[in-house]
């Protein structure tokens, strides 16, 4: 069975990636998990290189630059908390189009943001999905923390 999606939104690369990964995961299940996570993480690292050029590599600068970039999109993330080595984001819409598609797929794909923050900050980062629209929660909330 094909994943339900809005073809008019496929011009957005994040949405298109979300649809593709959703279809792939639906068709291949657990076998797709490692592939989706690996490709999303590597895409995050590639995107993070662009963010790190905008200033000194630090966790705080990476987070602030990430938020500034997000605010220019149709699905901005809101920074709820930021301290030297820890931050929390919230979102009311999923740029990947994963609403209702399940926590597992969200966690597989959100390593994209982990890769962005790691590359832009120069630090390994722990990441946790606290809430997700993908699992039916009222909003998304993600924690990023420097892994010391």
Number of folded domains that form the chain = 1
Residue 3 belongs to a domain:
no
Residue 122 belongs to a domain:
yes
Residue 2 belongs to a domain:
no
Tokens of 27: 């068709």
Q: How far is CA 133 from CA 65, 81, 91, 93, 100, in A?
A: 24, 20, 9, 8, 6
> How do residues 73-128 score in pLDDT, each as one tens digit?
888 999 999 998 999 999 999 999 999 999 999 999 999 999 999 999 999 999 99
Task: Please give the residue range of the domain that contains residue 118.
Answer: 10-146
Residue 1 belongs to a domain:
no
Residue 133 belongs to a domain:
yes
Return the beta strands (E) in the chain as ranges. 78-83, 86-91, 125-131, 140-146
Question: Sheet holding 125-131: strands in order across?
Answer: 78-83, 86-91, 140-146, 125-131
The values of phi and psi at residue 99, to 5°, are -50, 125
Residue 4 belongs to a domain:
no
Supply the pTM of this predicted model.
0.92
The CATH number covering residue 60 comes to 3.30.1380.20
Residue 113 belongs to a domain:
yes
């Amino acid at each position: 069975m094909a994943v339900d999606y809005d073809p008019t939104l496929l011009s957005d690369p994040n949405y298109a990636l979300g649809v593709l990964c959703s279809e792939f995961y639906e068709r291949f299940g657990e076998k797709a998990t490692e592939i989706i996570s690996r490709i999303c993480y590597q895409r995050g690292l590639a995107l993070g290189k662009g963010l790190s050029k905008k200033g000194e590599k630090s966790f705080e600068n990476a987070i602030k630059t990430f938020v500034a970039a997000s605010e220019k999109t149709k699905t901005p993330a809101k920074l709820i908390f930021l301290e030297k080595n820890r931050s929390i984001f919230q979102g009311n819409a999923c740029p990947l189009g994963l609403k209702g598609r399940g926590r597992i797929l969200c966690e597989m794909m959100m390593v994209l943001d982990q890769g962005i923050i790691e590359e832009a900050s120069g630090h390994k980062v722990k990441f946790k999905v606290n809430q997700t629209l993908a699992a039916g929660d009222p909003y998304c909330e993600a924690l990023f923390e420097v892994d010391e």
